[in-house]
Amino acid sequence: MAEGRRERADAIRNRRAILRATEELLAGHRPEQISMEQVAAAAGVGKGTVFHRFGSRMGLMLALMKERALDLDEALRDGPPPLGPGAPPRERMLAFLDAVVAVVTRNKSLLAALGHAAATTPKAPDQGPPGDHPVYRSWHGHLSALIAEQRPDLDAELLAHLLLGSLQSDPVLRLMEQGEGQRLADGLRELATSLVDH
């Protein structure tokens, strides 16, 4: 019994180390520039462990983004306002956009790489439209609900796509790589408030 618990603890520790190493590598490189060998070396595990846990580089990137998205989802559900419940929709929308920019900036071009991979990977007919991965879908649903609550007269679904889609453009990614995350957050706030304020 103790043996099984130790194996599970090792697996959890390895997963955390791999994801942390991946995030650190993403601070200086785009996802396509990072190899599974680099991740394994940075995490202090064997290359086989990385492949066994995540299958491929894109599987690893998606797992990291899901983990960060889960952290953000938890803050949205149970955290203090304005990110969590209890604040007016406009304040929650701005706090959410700041949090998304922080996640994307910390992971540089990860969101764009996932969007591109989802758009260019052949899908089964029942898998939904290109670019429809769980992280984006979750963020879009939350943002569009806040916009609709603040301004029911607007096309909240479209506006949420426009706001989030701006984070996937090459010029914006270059700004992130140049350390302009705060400038991006400020600009996104200005754009969002101009949409929902009369």
Q: Give residue limits of the domains in the chain.
A: 1-55, 58-196
**Is 58-196 CATH 3.40.50?**
no
pTM over 0.85: no
Mean pLDDT over the full length of the chain: 83
pLDDT of residue 9: 86
pLDDT at 4 over 70: no
CB 135 within 8 A of CB 167: no
Residue 47 Cα to chain centre, angstroms: 25
**What is 67-104 written as a DSSP string?**
HHHHHHHHHHHHSPTTTSTTS-HHHHHHHHHHHHHHHH
pLDDT in tens, 24-56: 888 777 777 889 999 999 999 999 999 999 999
pLDDT of residue 116: 53
pLDDT at 112 over 60: no
The DSSP H or E segment spanning 34 is none
Find which of 99-113, 125-139, 143-157 is predicted with most confidence, using mean pLDDT: 143-157
Residue that wins the pLDDT comparison between 29 and 107:
29
CB 168 within 8 A of CB 115: yes
Look up the CATH number of domain 1-55: 1.10.10
All residues at 6 or more sequence positions from 69 whose CB lies less than 8 Å from its CB, including other chains: 103, 134, 135, 138, 139
